[in-house]
Structure 1
Amino acid sequence: MTLRQLVARPRRTGLVAALAAVALGVGTIAFTAPAEPASAPAVRDPAPGDVVVDETFAGPGLPAGWNPVDGDWRVENGRLVGTSADAARQSRITFGRHLDDFRLEATARFDTVQDATRWTALGLDVPAAGTTPWSIATVRSGTTAANGLEFAQRTTGNAWNVTDTAAAPSAAATGRDVRIAVEVHGITARWIFEGREVLRTTRLARSADGGQALLVNGARVSFAAVKVTALAPNAWIRPAGTPVTVFAHRGGSSAAPENTLVSDEVARRAGAQWVENDVQPSKDGVPYVLHDDTVDRTTNGTGRIRDLTAAQLDALDAGSWFAPAYAGTRLPTLAAQLEDLRTRGGNLLLEIKGPHTRDEVARIVKEVRDHGMTDRVFVQSFQVDALRYTRELAPELPLGLLRSELDPDPVATARDLGLTAYNPSDGAVAPRLGVVKDLHAAGVAVNVWTVDAPARWKALETAGVDGIITNRAAELAGWNEAWLQAAAGR
């Protein structure tokens, strides 16, 4: 059962029965077993764009439904004030309801802090009782430190699991309001500081019923406004005012031998959010990262990958063809790549290259699951059968269909295959840029390949595409940064 299904299930409570009795004019409520218990009305899931919480703290006390769990929480002069006198404790107040897809935003001010490492946080998945585990997005008063912003989880053992960190572009400090927001889509989220996206995660720990919260640690923090808005479910569709996602084609392939671990490292350092690579099986069924159907172009060997054993592939030099400095670089297995990304950071846009049997796709899925990477892998392919097998075997993995030419009806194709994204070539989408809006209206993202020219980046960004697969990841990341600066100045 999905989180959304769990949330949507109607619940009967004693409160519902009590309210029903009051509505019938019963003075003293006596609970007897009715012959046929009435069903509680189903709670409608909010539609995208619905504002679930919109609080400006204009009343004299805490708003209804806001539950202080720890620390001192009160309303003063039109602001919610939370105080944590002990840096070893996390003062928190819970509110809202469980949502899979939402934006939580607030205007916050550090009034006093014990030191610059103290923090406040937006609670993204916190039980109403405030008990662990819970997931938060943290902002320190020393915001420009390397860990000024964080995504983190407080575990049941009361330990911290910090998954992602970044420095904010400006200091929060004390005595000034800052606008903070996080957009959540299941286990993915993006941190927005003063209107600018600074950090993303694909490792947000979620529960079936956790709601929202505010937290304060070693500080006195006041909030002028808090708002929660329901969002559409596809996290891959780019929100307005944010840059395109950078997918590094075959890793950092312009600066290192493609489809190798060193190429992945180059892509990480270049600022790519995703590494795009290809997977194919060896003769004995081991998935390897290779684009061509032969090893001739990118190794010192010859022959079809499907005709060579894992032992033969492991002995090949996959770096000398690119430059002498890369001599001895090995052709990685999918397992090695997944482990490298898991431990060193990064997400994988994984193309299943060429026709695959169901068993071959099952082996790929097993590798992804065995390495705990289901939340950081996006599967794409030109092969419809490979996508159908993946959907059957691993419905949790997002799917993208690669196309050299557009389908007659891309929306219908996307619906038929259960796609998260439709990924056409630049040449295919350029004459029909309106298809981007059509796909977005159907809840399908659009990522375009393989685009290396800034003029085309601009045209595609303007058309609303969500991501660009490129050989020039560092340049596109820099172009995005300039785009953000220009947008901030408008």
Structure 2
Amino acid sequence: MDLRKILTGIAALAFAGGTLTAVTTSAPASAAPGDVIVSETFSGGTLPSGWNAVDGTWSVQNGRLVGTAANGANNKITFGRKLNDFRFEADVRFDSVVSTSRWAALGLDVPASGATPWWIATMRSGSTASNGLEFAQRTTANTWNVTDTAAAPYAAGTGRNVKVSIEVHGTQARWSFDGTEVMRTSSLVRSANGGQALFVNGATVSFDNIKITELPRNAHLRSSGAPVTVIAHRGASAAAPENTLAAQDLALRAGADLIENDVQPSSDGVPFVLHDSTVDRTTDGTGAIRNRTSAYLKTLDAGSWFSPQYAGERMPTLAEQLADLRARGGRLLLEIKGSHTKAQVAKIIEVIRAQQMTPHVFVQSFDTASLRYVRELAPELPLGLLRSTLDADPAAVAADLGLTAYNPSASALLARPSAITALHNADIAVMAWTSDSPTQWTSLEAAGVDGIITNKPADLVAWNQN
């Protein structure tokens, strides 16, 4: 089995031997995406310049940084600088532990003083526990806010060197354990000046090959060797009625990275999740959605057409879909379907913000006017342009619209795969739609696409694991 496909995601581990580099907390004037900000192998025998042992015992022994902390002590050493997008790599070895629940951590956003609040990626020596790996915040009240947990493929134990990589893009982060992505979060809260750190609690832990690389801002680009992002087209629409919470549920349980939907307004301005211009095909109602009130739309059966087992399934509003995703930790690739006025786009944005889902929503559309409205009203939201055929110069179109992703049909893309390289060179991700064939998935992955929109997310997740 190819370990790079065990779990879906777009993070990958890329370790390289480093040379001793003096590091300060000030930013190099030439720092840019791809630059190595910290590269430390501890071959100098002493703590590097600019590393601040805030508390606990920290020393360099036999070419490794060694930290020791009593049970319950969050001992830390800070270094690095404020970065929005970066990869933090380290070799981590537990030399001794008070118990298997004790941990070491990579600090992702930590003030140089070590003062709270700060964010860490934690690994217990008993890393196969359900909370063996965590993303967590230490609050100003000195309490824990654990946002995400996972079990590692095997126990870190003691005496074993584990290669850890955390890829951070703003509020999002992805964790790789010895080259396998095991967890991700969209819950980081970033500070104005927090840098990086290493932590020890109830253990003696040694670290080596610390490397911090500044990354491009586009978190949706697939790292070399990583699996494609799995995007569930209208949810798991091959197995449940499309654009319903039932289809969303199946897709999330299958392991889809994003749910793709279609949003249109009712006659009274409520954004609903529906693909067609009318409700006729996928409900027991009739008429154009934009001519029907929200009260009418909520009475419709949106499941019986697909299967009797889904009788009574309702057409969700965008607010209902986002609330479900928020509760379950899901992400949405939201398609603004058809032309929208600026006021209608503003309503969609209002719903996203009211549901506190801005960090977890990616907006796409065929309608360039709608994308320009989103860019004006909510520049923090990433944008994708849907295309049935490729533009003559996709990268130029992407630059004009301020895109994060260019999302063409799979067949059009495979007819001209060289466009992918041009888009990647412009820091633009590529998500192909709509592909349900393993043969085509193989071609798309080989061509370098970052994500695949599919009606069969469970199958694509399984394919990623082979």
TM range (shorter): over 0.9
Deviates more, 1:213-222 or 1:414-423: 213-222
Partner secondary structure for residue 131 of structure 2 = coil
Match for 2:276 among 292, 306, 318? 292
Whole-Å separation in 1 of the counterparts to 2:334 and 2:312: 24
Q: Which has the higher contact order (CA 8 A, sep 6+)?
A: 2
1:83 pairs with 2:68: yes
* Shift in Å, 1:42: 8.9
- Taking the aligned partners of 1:70 and 1:340, their CA distance within structure 2 comes to 42
Give how far 1:43 is off.
Answer: 5.2
Helix, strand or coil at the partner of 1:70: coil
Is the aligned partner of 1:465 residue 2:454? no
Which of 35, 38, 42 aligns to 1:53? It is 38
1:173 pairs with 2:152: no
Q: 2: distance between equivalents of 1:321 and 1:291? A: 15
Shift, 1:202, TM fit: 2.1
The amino acid that maps onto 1:114 is V
SS of 2:109's partner is strand
1:441-482 Cα deviation digits (max 9, x unpaired): 001000000000011111111111000000110111111111
Question: What's the counterpart of residue 317 of structure 1?
Answer: 301
1:63 is aligned to 48
> Offset at 1:263?
1.1
Runs of 4+ off more than 3 Å: none
In structure 2, the residue matched to 1:360 is 344
Structure 1 partner of 2:166: 182
The equivalent position to 1:92 in structure 2, one of 76, 94, 99, is 76
The structure with the larger Rg is 1
Contact 2:71–2:102 (CA under 8 A) maintained in structure 1:
no
Q: Secondary structure at the match of 1:161?
A: strand
Q: Work out which of the residue numbers 440, 445, 452 in structure 2 matches 1:456.
A: 440
Structure 2: how far apart are the matches of 1:159 and 1:459? 48
**Displacement of 1:60:** 3.1
Residue 333 of structure 1 and its aligned partner are, at CA, apart by 0.6
Kindly state the Cα deviation for residue 192 of structure 1 after the two structures are TM-superposed. 0.9
- In the alignment, which of 426, 432, 435 is matched to residue 419 of structure 2? 435
Amino acid at match of 1:84: A
Cα distance between partner residues in 1 of 2:307 and 2:124? 44
Q: What pairs with 1:328-339 in structure 2 (closer than 5 Å)?
A: 328-339=312-323
Q: In the TM superposition, what is the alpha-carbon distance from 1:260 to its structure 2 partner?
A: 0.9
* Match in the other structure for 1:23: none
Letter paired with 2:95: D
Indicate the residue corresponding to 2:244 in structure 1.
260
Partner of 2:102: 118
For 1:462 and 1:248, the matched residues in 2 are separated by: 20
CA deviations on 1:79-122 (whole Å, 9 max, x unpaired) are 111111022x3111100111111111111101111222211111
- How many Å separate the matches in 1 of 2:376 and 2:210? 41
Q: Distance in 2 between matches of 1:162 and 1:379?
A: 28
Structure 2 counterpart of 1:133, which letter? P
Q: Is the 8 A contact 2:27 2:81 kept in 1?
A: no
- Identify the residue that residue 481 of structure 1 maps to in structure 2: 465
Over the aligned positions, Cα root-mean-square deviation in angstroms equals 1.3
Report SS of the residue matched to 1:315: coil
Q: Which stretch of structure 1 is more off in the superposition, 424-433 or 136-145?
A: 136-145
* 8 Å CA contact 2:71, 2:98 repeated in 1: no
Bigger CA drift: 447-456 or 42-51?
A: 42-51
Pair 1:42–1:237, CA change in 2 (3 A)? closer
Q: What is the one-letter code of the residue matched to 1:326?
A: Y
Classify the secondary structure of the residue corresponding to 2:340: coil
Amino acid at match of 1:64: S
Cα distance in 2 for residues equivalent to 1:204 and 1:454: 35
Once the two structures are superposed, what CA deviation does each residue of 1:402-444 show, in whole Å capped at 9, x if it has no partner?
A: 0001111111100000000000001211110010000000010
Which amino acid counterpart does residue 78 of structure 1 have in structure 2?
G
Q: Identity rate of aligned residues, in percent? A: 64
Tell me the CA shift for residue 319 of structure 1. Answer: 1.1
The answer for unaligned runs of 5 or more in structure 2 is 1-25
SS at match of 2:465: helix
The SS at the match of 1:184 is strand
TM-score of the superposition, structure 2-length normalised? 0.93
Paired residue for 1:341?
Answer: 325
SS at match of 1:400: strand
Within-5 A mapping of 1:62-461? 62-87=47-72, 89-461=73-445
The 1-side partners of 2:60 and 2:239 are apart by 56
Cα distance between partner residues in 1 of 2:248 and 2:124? 31
Q: Distance in 2 between matches of 1:278 and 1:219?
A: 50
Q: TM-score, normalised by structure 1?
A: 0.88
Distance 1:150 1:470 in 2: 30
Measure the CA separation in 1 of the matches of 2:148 and 2:362.
19
- Structure 1 residues 342 and 43, CA, compared in 2 at 3 Å: closer, same or farther? same
Q: Secondary structure at the match of 2:346?
A: helix
Q: Structure 1 residue 252: deviation in Å? A: 1.1
Structure 1 segments unaligned to the other structure (5+ residues) = 1-40, 483-490
Instruction: Output the CA distance in 2 between the equivalents of 1:149 and 1:351.
Output: 34
Q: In structure 2, the residue corresponding to 1:375 is in which secondary structure?
A: helix
Distance (whole Å) between structure 1 residues aligned to residue 282 and residue 142 of structure 2: 49
Equivalent position SS for 2:359: coil
SS where residue 325 of structure 2 aligns? helix
Match of 2:11 in 1: none
2:9 alignment counterpart: none
| Superposed displacement of residue 367, structure 1 | 0.6
1:210-252 per-position Cα deviation (integer Å, ceiling 9, x unaligned): 1000111221111122111111221111110110000000011
